[in-house]
Each structure stands twice: as C-alpha cells, then as structure tokens.
C-alpha cells in the first residue's frame, strides 16, 4: 500500500459493502447517528432539529423536494439569521424603539421579501422576452438600488423608512438566491415557484449569515440530487466524511493557533500546547505599522502567511459543515474549499478557495460579459470578463452585504469607504485574468522545480499580498495598507 493511500478519514463511499449497508434501514440509522455525533462534537446547537429533517429525507427520499421545502420553511421560522442588528440601529436612529413590535416587523418584512421574490421570478418567467426581463439580473439590481436610494433620500414617514430598510436588509440575504432562480427561468426542467424557494437559505446553512448560496440554486440541486438508493448512500457517506474532516481541521486550526500565537481559540478548554512561536496576529502587526511602530519585517511576513493559512482553515471548516448537510439531504454538492494551498495558478487557487462564491461571480458577472463583449479581441475579452467578476461582482457582493455602510454614509460615501476593497478587486481580477491567459497559452510541461514548487510559492505570495487589502474594516485607507506593505520590506 502506498503511503498516499493512508487517510485520516477512510473513503467509506468507495467501499461497496459499506455503501450496501448504508442503504439498509439499520445502515441508514447508523449513518444518521454518526452524523449526529459529528454535529454534536462540533457544538452545532441545532443538531436535533437538523437530524429530524435529515432522518425524514433519508427514509422518505421520494418526498425529498417536499421535505426540503418544509425543512427550509421551518428553518426560516426558527433559525435563519438575518442582520436584525442593522435594522435595530436604523430604528434607534429614527427614534422608533418605543413603538416597534419586533415580532410583527420581522415576520412581515420576511413575508414581504419572499412575496417580492416570488412576484419578480414569476414576472421574469412570464415576460422573459420583454426589454425589462431580457436581462433580469440588471433589472433586479436596478430595482434594489432604487429602493436603497428611496430609503436614503425619499421624503418618507419614519416608520415606512424603517420598514423599507428592513426589506432591503432581508432581501440582501435572498438576492443571490433569486439571481440563481432567474438564470434557471429558461431551463427545460424549470422548477416551479415553491421549488425555487426550497433552495433559498436551505436548512443546511445552519446559522451562517453569509449571503453566498452554498449549493447554489434549484438548477444545481436538480443536477446533483441522488436518483437511486445507492447514490443517496454514497452522498450521505461523503457527507459524514466531510463533517468529520471539518472536525479534524478544527483540531488542526486549534494547534496552529496555539503554536503560532499561543491562543488556541475554539478548543481552548481541551488543548494547551505549552509552546508558542508568539507570532503577532496579522491585524496587530498591521495596526503597529499604521501607528508608526512596525514590527520586524520577518514578523510581518510570518503574521501574513499565518493569516492566509488561518483564513483557508476557517473557510474550509465553515463550508465543509454546510456542504456535509446538503450531502446528507441527498444533494451531492462539491466541497466549498479543496486544497487551495496546493494550487499552481491564481485561477486554481481562486477556484479552490471558496468554490460557491467563485461560481456566483462566474455565472452572474464573468459569462454575461464574456458572451457579449470584445469577441474579436480575445485578450481584452478575457480581461474584461474576469475584471467584471473578480473586480466588479466581488465588490458589488460585499457592498450589498455590508449594507450598514450605505445606511450610515449614503451610497457615494459608502462607495468611497470601499476604495480599498475596490483596489483589492482590481488587483485580484487582473492577477486571475493574467493567470487564465497564461494557462490558455502555455500548455507545455515546465521544469519540475518551476512546476511543483515555484508556481505554488508564487500563488501563496500573491494571495498574501491581496489579503492585506481584503479587510472588512472599511475605515482603513489605501495609504494604511501600503504602510504595511512597505513594512514587509523593512521600510517605515
């Protein structure tokens, strides 16, 4: 046996006997029990509710669509998180706290958003060849920003303004799901309206607040749905594997945090390794540079590398738990993160780091530009489409996600506050475009060292560099970021 065949999590889905067992009633119970233990181990407090839904979908796969709709609706009523704190601030600023019935407000806002999505989708299907819905995403985003403009500037009653902000905040969680429905509207196997809704914030997202649709929309779910008992068993075994792999990564993340920074974090009560490199956390290193007291150049580099590693671990763990839930439900979704640090090109890293975010950008921004513009200029065509996705689409996604900046500052000032992220998007887009172009031009084999080592080092250094500008704190300026860049070379 080769050493590469040794795995921490055995490939259960490739053992015929295990796959056969997982199709029996006893096997199904065993798979569900092992998965439940994994959720419990990862301290997912909603594990009982999730297991009830998964058990129903396991034993009654013929009713999977209906059960998913029920599960998603139940999750919406009980667990799905919206950014209510942003609305609370609006209500506070408008002086409406004393008259606000939160339960009525939340439920009516959510109902209004779902109704709006349903009407928009129905209209896009019915009038798909009219100028308004020929490019429905453009219409959808235009209406969104008109609503934002009205909430900011229209002479509205304070209660109406608060309600409108509530609508915009909640719709921000649904907007990309609606976008997937809209691209599905011409499909030959078009799911009806309720079936589109089952894929909107499905129960397997748990309590995440990210608006990025993991496992995309109804069209993708149709393609990856288990069609036979064997496919369901394989999907579920892969779900179990992925959940336990997330557990392994949690342990690794704890050790990494302990060894690098002396702060284990998540599993602090179980782990204490009496050794630490005492590396500064990236944010502290950056703050020190901005304050004019930079740490040594090598400490800055090490803190930057450590941050990239921790980001990869974080997003992998987060995504694996969600995708494992989809797989348990019978939807054999691809992983959200797959060995990004092994990537040899920037495109490959981007593809592997957060697959579903990349897919969103590719489907809604890259291809619409690629299919329409600069067809006679292949290089410009590729650059424009990549910048539209990794640059424009990326910034738009975060601009909508971080709506609190628009609420506080208005559209223009919020955009100015995003200037660092816009720079990040431009650099990222340019890097990926060059990478894609080189990938297309250069198919020949290179020297082993260049192919296996230098390419990977180059990818890591590039993503470390752009990481500096990928900071959720919109109060930092480009100058602040470049002060840190200079400190990496001992300048400043």
Partner 1 sequence: METAATIRAFVAGLLSRKADKAPFADSESLVSRGRLDSVDVMEIVLFLEEKYDLDFADRGFNLDDYDSVDHILALLKEFGRIGAE
Which residues would be at the binding site for partner 1 (CB under 8 A)?
Answer: 134-135, 183-184, 186-188, 219-220, 223-224, 334, 347, 351, 358-359, 362-363, 366-368, 370-372, 375, 436, 439-440, 443
- Residue found by looking up tokens 């934002």 in the block: 148
Least distance from partner 1 to the Cβ atom of residue 149, Å = 27
Closer to partner 1 by CB, 79 or 437: give it. 437
Closer to partner 1 by CB, 215 or 468: give it. 215
| CA 375 vs CA 327, 382, 389, 392: distances in Å | 39, 9, 17, 20
Least distance from partner 1 to the Cβ atom of residue 224, Å = 5
Compute the distance between CA of residue 250 and CA of residue 317 in angstroms, rounded to an integer. 7
Tokens standing for residue 274: 């009496």
Closer to partner 1 by CB, 293 or 375: give it. 375
Closer to partner 1 by CB, 258 or 347: give it. 347
| CA 216 vs CA 125, 174, 197: distances in Å | 19, 12, 12
Closer to partner 1 by CB, 243 or 369: give it. 369
Compute the distance between CA of residue 369 and CA of residue 446 in angstroms, rounded to an integer. 32
Least distance from partner 1 to the Cβ atom of residue 183, Å = 6
Decide: residue 67, CB within 10 A, 0-12 exposed, 13-18 middle, 19+ buried.
buried
Least distance from partner 1 to the Cβ atom of residue 11, Å = 16
Closer to partner 1 by CB, 272 or 372: give it. 372
Bridge partners (DSSP) of residue 27 are: none
Least distance from partner 1 to the Cβ atom of residue 52, Å = 28
Contact 169, 87 (CB under 8 A): yes
Compute the distance between CA of residue 487 and CA of residue 280 in angstroms, rounded to an integer. 14
Closer to partner 1 by CB, 78 or 134: give it. 134
Tokens standing for residue 173: 């969680």
Closer to partner 1 by CB, 51 or 362: give it. 362
CB atoms within 10 A of CB 459: 23
Closer to partner 1 by CB, 173 or 358: give it. 358
Least distance from partner 1 to the Cβ atom of residue 130, Å = 13
CA 73 to chain centre: 21
Least distance from partner 1 to the Cβ atom of residue 178, Å = 15
Least distance from partner 1 to the Cβ atom of residue 379, Å = 13
Tokens standing for residue 419: 């200037």
- Residue found by looking up tokens 């996604």 in the block: 397
- Residue found by looking up tokens 């992220």 in the block: 421
Least distance from partner 1 to the Cβ atom of residue 61, Å = 19
Q: For 251-304, give the DSSP string.
A: HHHHHHHHHHHS---TTTTT---S----PPPHHHHHHHHHTT----HHHHHHHH
């Amino acid at each position: 046996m080769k050493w590469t065949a040794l795995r921490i999590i055995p490939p259960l889905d490739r053992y015929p006997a295990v796959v056969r067992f997982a199709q029996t009633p006893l096997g199904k119970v065993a798979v569900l029990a092992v998965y439940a233990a994994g959720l419990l181990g990862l301290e997912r407090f909603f594990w009982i509710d999730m297991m009830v839904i998964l058990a129903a979908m396991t034993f009654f796969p013929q009713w999977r669509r209906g059960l998913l709709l029920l599960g998603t609706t139940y999750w919406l009523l009980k667990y799905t998180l919206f950014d209510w704190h942003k609305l609370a601030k609006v209500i506070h600023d408008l002086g409406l706290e004393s008259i606000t019935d939160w339960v009525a407000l939340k439920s009516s806002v959510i109902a209004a958003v779902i109704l709006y999505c349903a009407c928009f989708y129905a209209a896009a299907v019915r009038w798909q060849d009219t100028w308004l819905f020929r490019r429905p995403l453009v219409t959808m985003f235009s209406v969104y920003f008109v609503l934002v403009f009205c909430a900011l500037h229209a002479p509205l009653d304070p209660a109406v303004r608060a309600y409108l902000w509530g609508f915009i905040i909640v719709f921000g969680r649904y907007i990309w799901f609606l976008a997937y429905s809209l691209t599905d509207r011409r499909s030959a196997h078009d799911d009806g309206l309720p079936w589109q809704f089952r894929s909107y914030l499905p129960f397997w997202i748990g309590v995440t607040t990210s608006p990025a649709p993991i496992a995309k929309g109804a069209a993708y779910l149709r393609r990856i749905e288990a069609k036979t008992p064997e496919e369901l068993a394989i999907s579920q075994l892969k779900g179990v594997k992925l959940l336990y792999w997330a557990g392994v990564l949690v342990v690794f993340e704890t050790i990494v945090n302990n060894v690098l920074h002396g702060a284990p974090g998540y599993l602090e009560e179980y782990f204490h390794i009496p050794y630490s490199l005492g590396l500064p956390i990236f944010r502290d290193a950056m703050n020190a540079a901005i304050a004019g007291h930079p740490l040594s150049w090598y400490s800055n580099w090490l803190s930057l590398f450590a941050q990239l590693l921790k980001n990869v671990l974080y997003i992998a763990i987060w995504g694996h738990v969600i995708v494992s839930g989809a797989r348990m439900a019978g939807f054999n979704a691809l992983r959200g993160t797959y060995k990004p640090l092994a990537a040899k090109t920037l495109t490959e890293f981007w593809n592997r780091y957060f697959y579903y975010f990349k897919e969103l950008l590719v489907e809604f921004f890259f291809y619409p530009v690629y299919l329409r513009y600069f067809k006679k200029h292949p290089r410009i065509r590729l650059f424009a489409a990549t910048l539209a996705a990794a640059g424009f689409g990326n910034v738009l996604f975060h601009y909508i996600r971080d709506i609190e900046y628009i609420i506080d500052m208005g559209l223009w000032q919020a955009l100015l506050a995003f200037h660092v992220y816009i720079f990040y998007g431009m650099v990222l887009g340019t890097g990926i475009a060059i990478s894609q172009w080189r990938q297309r031009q250069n198919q020949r084999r290179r020297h082993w060292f260049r192919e296996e080592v230098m390419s990977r080092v180059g990818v890591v250094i590039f993503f470390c560099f752009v990481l500096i500008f990928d900071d959720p704190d919109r109060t930092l300026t480009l100058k602040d970021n470049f002060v840190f860049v200079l400190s990496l070379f001992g300048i400043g």
